[in-house]
Amino acid sequence: MKMKKFTVTLAAIAFVACNQKKESSLQIGEPEEIVTKDYEQLEKADWLLGEWGNTSAEGNLTETWKQENDSTFIGKNFVTVEVDTVFQENVVLEQKNDSLFYKVTVKGQNNNETVAFYLTAADDDQLVFENPKHDFPNKITYNKISSDSLVAEISGMKDGKISKELFAMKKR
């Protein structure tokens, strides 16, 4: 009977010991390693943050960019003529793994569904996003001219011809 009790007790101790978390191999006073996610692709677009705009005969263009979290910027673009909004789009610039996506939803276009473009080139002064399957545009480029000036360009095939539109903006 004593042997049976001893075996059960030993089995219980072994079970508990096996289910305990392993202790850290860190020595006392040694700092723990902190793992952080890298959003290098999104960081290349930091210069977009803020409010940009341009006033012309066609209307007042406003584009704003805000950081939502570590992996996402939110953009809003609209054109007003006098008091009427004649164009509006929402953009999500999002890094997933090592890829940066420019996801745009334009009111009244593409059945109000989001169209995604992916980053194909980037440096300190330029971001290029492409979606070869989209009709027009299939390329969106942002060029930083200076710290307070940029030009956005949309381009691609339109009515069987290569077309592009430029939008020069100043920081507000």
pLDDT at 24: 43
pLDDT at 143: 98
pLDDT tier at 38, thresholds 50, 70, 90: confident
Mean pLDDT over each residue of the chain, to the nearest integer: 87
- For residue 77, give the 3-state DSSP assignment: strand
27 burial level (CB within 10 Å; 0-12, 13-18, 19+): exposed
Q: Which domains, from first to last, does the chain contain?
A: 40-171 (2.40.128.20)
Tell me the pTM: 0.78
Average pLDDT of the residues in 71-81? 97
Q: What is the pLDDT of residues 59-75, one digit of tens each?
A: 999 999 999 999 999 99
123 burial level (CB within 10 Å; 0-12, 13-18, 19+): exposed
Distance CA 138, CA 82 (A): 30
Q: How far is CA 83 from the centre of its chain?
A: 31
- Which range among 2-6, 92-96, 134-138 shows the weakest confidence by mean pLDDT? 2-6
Residue 7 has pLDDT above 90, yes or no: no
Write the single-letter amino acid at 87: F
CA angle 169, 98, 38 (to 5 degrees): 85
Q: What is the pLDDT of residues 25-36, one digit of tens each?
A: 445 666 666 656
Q: What is the pLDDT of residues 111-149, one digit of tens each?
A: 999 999 999 999 999 999 999 999 999 999 999 999 999
**How many percent of the chain have pLDDT more than 70?**
79
Average pLDDT of the residues in 16-41? 60
pLDDT tier at 37, thresholds 50, 70, 90: confident
Phi, psi of 46 (to 5 degrees): -55, -35
Q: Which residue in this structure is represented by tokens 């492409």?
A: 130
